[in-house]
């Protein structure tokens, strides 16, 4: 069976190092927000190119805490996309703010900057730019819009660890960057974990306080919550961070293999921005006969995915809660056509050949 993603294979790649790191933590006497977390925060800050990194419990918390640190809450509005993980919108709602959803660009599947003006109100406090599938959103016009209207830019880089835009790492460009380190991510823990990036030390200090009850010397100076990163996950992430660029290159190589072997078929292949470097968290194609292709792949032992099968504004929990653009035609159209092909650093050449051969067989039936 060839899976769409397979984090256990990455564990096997670095098993000895990870096991030694975990045992070292277990034999110590600090298990939450200890030395491993501090070192990971320092190493990730150096890697991304920011002054501060704050470890939190997961990527959803990273976004919620980022918003709270910017004093965004009840009565405020945050613009983002509906074509994203539910976590992006769940984090906005957790602060009491309202999510305002706009359509995506049909070529890159990220927020369409041309639609921002129509969604701007006097309640708008921030934009969350989701760097989807490992590729940057169109940041230059988004940044200009934020500057013009004096609103914050938060980068949701949960699928884009190590990706670049104009030669800068994603997560270093906006006011705050947010990363999920869920096991399937490019930089994935063996459990839940998240990271928040910032270049403003006052803001970073506030984020640190919010993640732990708003404490300053164990006195709650502001409302906070419990979103602490544990030492085991930090130790595991430190191992994987050493190999992140190498593993991302393997993803780009797999993507190139797909491009070279599938481009002649009636498939819409992913596009990559000329001023960006994707890390191909996912390799998403569009086809007209999705269910038939998914079924044919599954019968051949290949499990493809769909990211995402339902826009957030169409989920029963959200369709009467979010504010959305009247025209969501791109988002609502692509969700019926997209397929995520298997992609992860340990995917073998043999498995890749099986995947492309199976797809070619489907179209030659």
3-class DSSP assignment, residue 100 = strand
**Half-sphere exposure in the Cβ direction for 230 (13 Å, CA):** 12
**Residue 91 in contact with residue 64, Cβ under 8 Å?**
yes
**Residue 32 in contact with residue 228, Cβ under 8 Å?**
yes
H or E element: which one contains 286? Answer: strand 283-286
CATH architecture type of domain 244-363:
Alpha-Beta Complex (3.90)
Domain with CATH 3.40.640.10 in the chain: 7-242
Q: How far apart are CA 190 and CA 183, in angstroms?
A: 5
Q: How far apart are CA 347 and CA 343, in angstroms?
A: 7
Could you write out the DSSP letters of every residue in 335-357? TTTEEEE---TT--HHHHHHHHH
Q: CB neighbours (10 Å) of residue 365? A: 6
User: What's the confidence (pLDDT) of residue 365?
Assistant: 62
* pLDDT, block means (10 residues), the chain with 365 residues: 97 98 96 96 98 98 98 98 98 98 97 97 98 98 98 98 98 98 98 98 97 92 94 98 98 98 97 96 97 98 97 94 91 97 98 98 88
In the block, tokens 């009636």 appear at 266
User: What's the confidence (pLDDT) of residue 102?
Assistant: 97
User: What's the confidence (pLDDT) of residue 319?
Assistant: 86
Domain with CATH 3.90.1150.10 in the chain: 244-363
Encoded tokens for 239 = 């191992």
Q: Which residues on adjacent β-strands are paired with residue 339?
A: 285
* 8 contact partners, CB below 8 Å, separation of at least 6: none
* 337 contact partners, CB below 8 Å, separation of at least 6: 268, 286, 287, 288, 290
Q: Which residues on adjacent β-strands are paired with residue 313?
A: none
CATH number for the domain running over 7-242:
3.40.640.10
φ, ψ of residue 302 to 5 degrees: the values are -120, 120
Encoded tokens for 16 = 């000895």
């Amino acid at each position: 069976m060839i899976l769409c993603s397979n984090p256990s294979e990455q564990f096997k790649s670095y098993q000895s190092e990870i096991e030694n790191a975990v045992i070292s933590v277990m034999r110590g006497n600090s298990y939450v927000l200890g030395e491993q977390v501090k070192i990971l925060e320092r190493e990730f800050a150096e890697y991304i190119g920011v002054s501060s990194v704050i470890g939190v419990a997961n990527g959803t918390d990273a976004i919620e805490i980022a918003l709270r640190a910017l004093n965004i809450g009840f009565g405020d509005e945050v613009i983002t996309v509906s074509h994203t993980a539910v976590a992006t919108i769940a984090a906005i709602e957790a602060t009491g703010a309202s999510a305002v959803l706009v359509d995506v660009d049909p070529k890159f599947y990220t927020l369409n900057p041309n639609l921002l003006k129509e969604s701007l109100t006097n309640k708008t406090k921030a934009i969350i730019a989701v760097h989807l599938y490992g590729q940057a959103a169109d940041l230059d016009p988004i940044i200009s819009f934020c500057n013009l209207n004096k609103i914050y830019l938060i980068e949701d880089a949960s699928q884009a660890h190590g990706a670049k835009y104009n030669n800068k790492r994603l997560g270093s460009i906006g006011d705050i960057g947010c990363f999920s380190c869920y096991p399937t991510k490019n930089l994935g823990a063996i459990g839940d974990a998240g990271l928040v990036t910032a270049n403003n030390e006052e803001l970073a200090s506030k984020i640190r306080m919010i993640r732990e009850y708003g404490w300053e010397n164990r006195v709650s100076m502001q409302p906070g919550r419990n979103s602490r990163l544990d030492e085991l996950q930090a130790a595991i992430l430190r191992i994987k961070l050493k190999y992140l660029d190498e593993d991302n290159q393997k993803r780009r190589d797999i993507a190139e293999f797909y491009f070279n072997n599938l481009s002649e078929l009636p498939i819409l292949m992913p596009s990559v921005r000329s001023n960006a470097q994707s890390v191909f968290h996912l390799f998403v194609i569009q086809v007209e006969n999705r269910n038939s292709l998914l079924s044919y792949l599954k019968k051949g032992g290949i499990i493809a995915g769909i990211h995402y099968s339902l826009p957030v504004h169409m989920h029963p929990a959200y369709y009467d809660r979010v504010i959305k653009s009247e025209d969501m035609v791109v988002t609502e159209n692509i969700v019926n056509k997209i397929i995520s092909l298997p992609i992860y650093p340990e995917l073998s050449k043999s498995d890749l050949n099986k995947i492309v051969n199976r797809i070619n067989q489907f179209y030659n039936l």
